[in-house]
Amino acid sequence: MPELPEVETLRRDLDPEIVGREILKGWISENAPRLVQGMPPQVFLDSLARRRFTGTSRRGKYLVLELDDGTAFILHLRMTGQLLLVDPQSVVDPYARARFWLDDGRELRFRDVRKFGTMWHVADRELVLHRLGLEPLSDEFTTAALYAALARRAAPVKAVLLDQHVIAGLGNIYVDEALHLARVHPLAPARDLSRRQAGAIREGAVRVLEQALSNRGSSFRDYVDSRGRPGSNVQHLRVYKRTGEPCLSCGREIVRTLAGGRSTHYCPGCQRRPRRRATRRVAGAGV
């Protein structure tokens, strides 16, 4: 699934290309019944027709295209979604789920193999985005804020960091990478982590996200930018999808496990599994 760096790369590429452009008309595939949220597909298309893009933004993994009437066209790529800016002669493949023709002759095309992607057209973007947590490349993402969020949860830290209500935009790739840099085991209970460890996770997350942005995202199979080009960050990953390979820090083999039901990669040398806390004995209790 595209994460924050991939969606932000897409936004940065689209912004100078579509701002000022008008949507002439659109099309939604009948084979994508869950693509449009909140209204029937035809109502959605009618509401976008003749609207002009005035800006772009991003919240977590959501791409927000701002329109001239103050409304927002919001997209979530989910697992395999791709938003492509294509020329009129571009061949339409069977996985095209939505098409939007612009006034300069080009087309915004949403392609999605697995059909998990979603779109909204809303007057108030908070109807879609209101439950999202800390934005990890913003000033609000402080050690204190992260430590407070982790302290409230007994679940493994990997699962907590994946929760979009806690931090918006992190997914499997960058959580594994951030925890490796922080030298924190992914199965460590979140509430047991120290403030120092929370600070190390924050620094690791910011570092891996900024690195991925500079490399235009991580492409394993589905993610491409608006022109169909893959990102180059895969070659810079330290643990994710490197099972059995040597750790770049200590040389131990990277291993794979499950955390919160998600595939998880870590180094057992750098990220030591925490010892179980001793069970407290109640005064006067029998043996």
Question: Catalytic site residue 246?
Answer: no
Residue 272 CB neighbours (<10 A): 12
In three-state secondary structure terms, 276 is coil
Active-site residue, from 61, 111, 158, 238:
61
Question: Catalytic site residue 136?
Answer: no
The candidate with the shortest Cα–Cα distance to 52, out of 123, 103, 126, 11, is: 103
Residue pair 127/83 in contact by the 8 Å Cβ criterion: no
Active-site residue, from 3, 66, 107, 177:
3
The candidate with the shortest Cα–Cα distance to 202, out of 230, 172, 174, is: 174
Q: Which two tokens stand for residue 178?
A: 């951030």
Question: Catalytic site residue 3?
Answer: yes
Q: Which residues contact 247 (CB under 8 A, 6 or more apart)?
A: 238, 239, 253, 254, 267, 269, 270
Q: Which residues contact 205 (CB under 8 A, 6 or more apart)?
A: 136, 141, 161, 167, 170, 174, 175, 178
Residue pair 86/107 in contact by the 8 Å Cβ criterion: yes
Pairing of strands 81-86, 107-112: antiparallel
Q: Which amino acid is at 148?
A: A
Question: Catalytic site residue 30?
Answer: no
Give the separation between CA 266 and CA 276, rounded to whole angstroms. 19
Active-site residue, from 78, 262, 268, 274:
262
What is the set of active-site residues? Answer: 2-3, 61, 262
